[in-house]
Amino acid sequence: MRGLHYRAGGREIFSGVDLDFPRGSVTAVMGPSGSGKTTLLRLITGQVRPGQGLVEFDGQDVSQLPRAALYRMRRRMGMLFQNGALLTDLDVYENIAFPLREHARLPERLVRHVVLTKLQAVGLRGAARLMPAELSGGMARRVALARAIVMDPELLVYDEPFVGLDPISMGVVLRLIRRLNDTLGVTSIVVSHDVREITAVADHCHLLSAGRIIASGPPAAVAGSEREDVRQFMHGLPDGPVPFHYPAPEYADQARRVT
């Protein structure tokens, strides 16, 4: 990404962001809620287009691609949505088979083999015939992960993969992110604000705040940064450049006005 500017709802979300995601590595993009992390993923995958700047995937400018070419490119990407986004009228098996049925005319025996292999990779082969409503949050996330890798993508993007998960499920998802990255040789981009979890698996980190990248580098280097705003986020300090108090008039003035 080079010189990325993006506005939405009259607000500047990104003002001149430059980012690199090295091939074959796990890169974490962290930042407080509302800092535009999910929007960043939507820009990378071409779901929204930037006002200005370049978003390049394997030499192609994503933001300039016509729809057909964008769809061709997306076959090389997998995305894990925050809530899994499983299709609620299909069972687990059919959810994972969905991209295969849409894009490849494979014999049913082969579809079955691929789906079961992917389910085995996320440890849920036994849940093949469950409906999404019957899955826990962690299981839904794992099924969505199996669906994201069913077309053997080159890029996997994860949108807040740990939100709402219990510690066991979180551990499973963490391990899967690292293992899938290493065994499938994909490039992974993980957007999250769970600092401890994500820095444990990431090779590189970018910290996003107020529309800019304020820190980049290996997790240990970012965690050890001396910058006050980086320190506040990485160590979860309640007060700092992001103040504890929402801007307000003087207490006495406000109290008088109310009475």
Q: Provide the binding-site residues for another protein, judged by CB under 8 A.
A: 45, 47, 71-72, 74-75, 77-79, 81-83, 85-88, 98-99, 102-103, 144, 147, 151
Q: Where are the alpha helices (DSSP H) in 11-91?
A: 37-44, 67-74
CB nearer to another protein: give 144 or 176.
144
Taking the least distance from each CB to another protein, the nearer of 85 and 184 is 85
Residue 236 backbone dihedrals phi, psi, to 5 degrees: 60, 40
* Contact in structure between 248 and 254 (CB atoms under 8 Å): yes
21 vs 233, beta carbon nearer another protein: 21
C-alpha 129/C-alpha 135 separation (Å) is 11
| CB-nearer residue toward another protein: 44 or 215 | 44
Least distance in Å: CB of 47 to another protein?
Answer: 7
Nearer Cβ to another protein, position 98 or 112? 98
Q: What is the closest distance, in whole angstroms, from the C-beta atom of residue 94 to another protein in the complex? A: 13
Integer Cα distance of 160 and 223 in angstroms: 19
CB of 59 to another protein, least distance (A): 19
Burial of 125 (0-12, 13-18, 19+ CB in 10 A): middle
Specify the DSSP class assigned to residue 123.
T
Q: Which residues of 105-120 are buried (b: 16+ CB within 10 A; e: fewer)?
A: eeeeeebeebbeebbe
**Least Å from the CB of residue 63 to another protein:** 16
Between 70 and 130, name the residue whose CB sits nearer to another protein: 70
Nearer to another protein, 83 or 232 (CB): 83
Q: Output the smallest distance, CB 95 to another protein, in A.
A: 9
Instruction: Please answer whether residues 5 and 166 qualify as being in contact, where contact means their C-beta atoms are separated by less than 8 angstroms.
Output: no
Quote the least distance from Cβ 10 to another protein, whole Å: 17
Non-local CB neighbours of 203 within 8 Å, separated by 6+ positions: 22, 25, 26, 27, 218
Output the smallest distance, CB 236 to another protein, in A: 28
With beta carbons less than 8 A apart as the criterion, state whether 36 and 14 touch: yes
